[in-house]
Amino acid sequence: MNCRELLIKGTELLKKRGINSPRLDAEVLLASAWGRERADLLIFSEDQVPKEVQLVFYDLLSQRSKGIPVAYLTGEKEFMSLDFYVNSDVLIPRPETELLVEWVLEFLAKLDKPLKTAGDITTGHVIGGEEKHLVADVGTGSGAVAVSLAHYNPKVKVLAIDISHKALKTAARNADRHGVKGRVRFLQGDLLTPLLEQGLIGMGTAVAANLPYIPTADLPDLPIDVQYEPKNALDGGKDGLEHYRRLIPQAELFLAPGGLLACEIGAGQGEVLAGLLQQEGWNRVKVLKDYAGRERVVTAVKQDRSGGQVG
């Protein structure tokens, strides 16, 4: 059977099983099974597919038909134009989360070089003799956010935290893959607790947080694909903001005055989280929408408690 015929067969099989994007999924799975690029499947559509590749392809189709996400089957997911290794220990990176990374990168790019004079307000930290922005990635999972920040800003030192040891192993693999292992440090623990326990008070430039934000009652209604992802990376408590309520005071301790807190959220949560931040005295609170027009990220800047205002 040639490539074109096999793709048609695979697409029909997935379509009958109710998969939303049968053709795309069939292409991705065949490319993975064959060790080729998706574009090759179109360019060389009349090529005969080896029997052993067909067997692997049919096995992948069978698993996909049960709802197992394509990214788990291929072990790959693109994020911020970088390829990340993923498995069932971590949440699959979403395109929507790129807004979180882009906003933090934009914030860092606008910062002046950190001041060195004692007593000056600074949003930087001296690490290894160089001035670098100290950024925390809370709930790092696959490391997509942490690795992307380090990859696109060479001045960044990222402290990537996750409560899951297995997730941290996956994240470390991705940091090594993209050559930023020396600037991303992985710590196991709850939210920013590992950093505060080490005395990193008032030293942070930014906190990026993609914490679980699905309300507990909504979990059973999630698409079948999402049901395969780790529940502890999805469950955000009664209203989805349980973890963010705990994070806010910790972020206030970790960040230097003028430091940024950026949080990914779900639909309808922007006003509530923004209100919480305003009540706690944060400045420049914003609710950002993604390209689909949905509330996606809430950002805020830590104020200068000494009486001045930063930014």
CA dihedral 30, 34, 39, 41 (to 10 degrees): -70
43: domain CATH number?
1.10.8
Question: What ranges make up the beta strands (E) of the chain?
Answer: 76-79, 82-85, 125-127, 130-138, 156-162, 184-188, 204-209, 255-264, 283-289, 295-301
Cα–Cα distance between 232 and 253 in angstroms, integer? 25
Instruction: Write down the residue that tokens 């997935």 correspond to.
Output: 14
Q: Is the residue at 75 inside a domain?
A: no
If asked whether residues 13 and 137 sit together in one domain, one would say no
The helix-helix angle for 3-16 and 51-65 (nearest 10°) equals 20
Q: Using one digit for the tens of pLDDT, what is the confidence trace for 144-158? A: 999 999 999 999 999
pLDDT on residue 130: 55
pLDDT on residue 291: 87
Q: Using one digit for the tens of pLDDT, what is the confidence trace for 86-111? A: 999 999 999 999 999 999 999 999 88
Share of the chain above pLDDT 70, in %: 91
HSE-CB for 173 with a 13 A CA cutoff: 16
Last residue of a domain, one of 14, 31, 66: 66
Q: Is the residue at 277 inside a domain?
A: yes
pLDDT on residue 305: 61
If asked whether residues 128 and 17 sit together in one domain, one would say no
If asked whether residues 46 and 195 sit together in one domain, one would say no
Those residues with Cβ within 8 angstroms of residue 311's Cβ, 6 or more apart along the chain or in another chain: 258, 283, 284, 301
Dihedral pair phi/psi, residue 308, rounded to 5°: -85, 175
Write out the residue range of the structural domain in which residue 14 sits.
3-66
Dihedral pair phi/psi, residue 288, rounded to 5°: -100, 145
Dihedral pair phi/psi, residue 36, rounded to 5°: -120, 170
Last residue of a domain, one of 19, 41, 66: 66
* Model-wide pTM > 0.85: yes
Nearest to residue 134, comparing CAs of 85, 202, 231, 191? 202
If asked whether residues 110 and 18 sit together in one domain, one would say no
